[in-house]
């Protein structure tokens, strides 16, 4: 089977009718076993941030029905294609998760990764114990979802951090700006916002998260950790109990206020 055909089969989802009909609880039980193994494997790992392009490698977690990739380093052009080449080697009904630890990098490539995660139904996780998923990485993280249910499955392992920031355009301090320069800069920001909103619609992400992160000053970062991750609709893995905590109950409670 060609790589293109394998990816098409994966994007369609499992062909087994029973797998499609599996309830959310059963589906998440399988992934929770894998997540427990991930949490145990990386509990003692100290997160590092290499300056070079991201390292992408497959890791063994002892759970046969899921493949886990570890992605660590700078997001660079071509990363989505690298991962796509690896995913195409797997059976279409094989669950895939990716463990992220990156301070960001090429912003558009981050969105390309997010589209791949969403279309190929790859669940996304932020490394705990000081792990980071910032800027381009955070945008990629939003695309994660479960292969069986098709629902969002994005989790932060306890001690890890997501980070979003507003647009920044760095200009020479001595430069004098004309009206045309300012109009051009405003137009660039408007196009960037439109592109981000288009991306969020493609991955079926609630834009309210986006409104929060662009409300931060351009020179700062909005960090989302642990309980705040639940409030933003993301799962959290409790590293001590090695359990997957769903945000659904917390969001329902917040809506009932």
Q: DSSP assignment of 35-58, as one string?
A: HHHHHHHHTTPPP---SSBPEEEE
How confident is the model at residue 112, as a pLDDT? 98
CA distances from 107 to 50, 69, 79, 136 (A): 18, 21, 12, 5
| Long-range pairs of 229-232 with CB within 8 A, sequence gap ≥ 24 | 229/155, 229/156, 229/162
How confident is the model at residue 124, as a pLDDT? 97
∠ Cα 211 215 219 (to 5°): 135
How confident is the model at residue 23, as a pLDDT? 45
Report d(CA 85, CA 81) in Å as an integer.
6
Block means of pLDDT (10 residues each) for the chain, 257 residues, are: 64 49 50 61 53 83 87 96 95 93 95 98 93 95 94 93 78 76 80 90 85 67 90 88 83 68
Report d(CA 225, CA 231) in Å as an integer.
10
Query: Quick check: 144 and 122 in contact, CB under 8 A?
Result: yes
Per-residue burial over 158-171, b if 16 or more Cβ lie within 10 Å, else e, is: bbbbbbbbeeeeee
How confident is the model at residue 113, as a pLDDT? 98
- For 16, the enclosing helix (H) or strand (E) is none
* Closest to 149 (Cα-Cα) out of 31, 63, 23: 23
Domains detected in the chain: 3-251 (3.90.226.10)
* Closest to 95 (Cα-Cα) out of 33, 174, 177, 180: 33
How confident is the model at residue 162, as a pLDDT? 94
Report d(CA 206, CA 216) in Å as an integer.
18
How confident is the model at residue 169, as a pLDDT? 63
How confident is the model at residue 16, as a pLDDT? 42
pTM listed for this prediction? 0.82
How confident is the model at residue 170, as a pLDDT? 63
Report d(CA 78, CA 66) in Å as an integer.
24
């Amino acid at each position: 089977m060609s790589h293109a055909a394998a990816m098409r089969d994966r994007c369609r989802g499992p062909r087994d009718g029973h797998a499609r009909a599996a309830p959310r609880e059963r589906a998440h039980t399988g992934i929770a076993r894998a997540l427990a193994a991930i949490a145990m494997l990386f509990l003692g790992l100290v997160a590092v941030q290499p300056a070079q392009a991201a390292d992408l490698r497959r890791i063994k977690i002892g759970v046969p029905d899921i493949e886990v990739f570890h992605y660590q380093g700078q997001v660079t052009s071509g990363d989505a294609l690298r991962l796509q080449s690896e995913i195409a080697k797997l059976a279409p009904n094989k669950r895939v998760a990716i463990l992220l630890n990156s301070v960001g990098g090429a912003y558009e490539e981050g969105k390309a990764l997010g589209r791949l995660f969403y279309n190929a139904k790859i669940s996304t996780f932020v490394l705990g114990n000081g792990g980071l998923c910032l800027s381009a990485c955070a945008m990629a993280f939003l695309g994660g979802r479960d292969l069986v249910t098709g629902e969002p499955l994005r989790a932060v392992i306890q001690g890890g951090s997501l980070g979003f920031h507003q647009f920044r355009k760095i200009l020479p301090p001595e430069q004098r700006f004309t009206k045309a320069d300012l109009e051009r800069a405003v137009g660039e920001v408007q196009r960037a916002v439109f592109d981000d909103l288009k991306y969020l619609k493609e991955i079926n992400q609630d834009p309210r998260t986006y409104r929060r992160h662009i409300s931060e000053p351009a020179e700062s970062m909005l960090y989302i950790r642990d309980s705040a991750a639940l409030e933003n609709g993301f799962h959290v893995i409790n590293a001590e109990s090695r359990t997957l905590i769903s945000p659904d109950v917390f969001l329902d409670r917040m809506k009932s206020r």
